[in-house]
Structure 1
Amino acid sequence: MRPDNSHHLIAAAQRRRADTLQRARQALQDLGDTGQQRTVTQIAAHAGVSRSWLYAQPELRDQLRQLTATPQQGEPAAPQVARSSEASLRRRLSLAHERIRELDNDNRHLRGQIAVLHGQLRANRIAANPVADTVHDANTQVKPLESPLDPR
């Protein structure tokens, strides 16, 4: 019968666990000293361990929560975002409405000009006055629409 040597395996596993815990603690300390943000991913990468292993270590997880919950003394506080006042929002809204009215008026004016030009073009075609149709004359692939009133 062989002697039971499992105590060697148990001791090696305990040493490996203690070494890994020490590396993770050292990673926490190193990242804290440099002022870098401490996250589980960063500590895992720095210590050379998996994130799941870190999550399984309650004392490290608790220590990490404490360090990430309190802002560092050297870190500047995040700037407070000033909310727009109601008057400012109302002014922006009225300017937006004014701009919409201007654009709507421009569209109406341009549509009116297009209607007048189409009417002149149609009147000239009916009166058989030759009009230079730059779109269709320059492009031989585009065929003008045949109209019953078109004398062509």
Structure 2
Amino acid sequence: MPADNSHLIVDAARRRSAATRRRAVAALRRMDATGTTITFETVAREAGVSRSWLYNQPDLRAEIERLRAGRRSIPAARPVPDRQRASDASLLRRLEAATERNRQLEAENRELRDALALALGERRTADLTGRRGDTPNKKTSAVIGPC
């Protein structure tokens, strides 16, 4: 009676199935990252698997449908990958930070305008009174040439 080697066939089938799943998941991630249109046809072609196999994998089917539906609702020239989309909370925090930065810049601009007005006023006063700089009545010394 020949030896029972069926476990080798079962192991090979498991390895082949795992490799197929890895290819499909990798293709799906790659397509999402690059913004490629995601359909059962395009995923099957990219992964080298059949469409019917994809339809029979509940988790992959749900992910393809989710990504496909998400892309339909975003009218953009090039769809944004799912992992790069900002959440409402994230957008709100960015808006609050930008608003605070605007307030800081407005205050800084106000201070700089006031300082400039003061400096221009002092210069005008100095021009009118004939005094320049920090030493108003001091004459400059003669320049001595080379020896």
Q: Computing the radius of gyration over CA atoms, which structure comes out larger, 1 or 2?
A: 1
TM-score, length of structure 1 as denominator length: 0.47
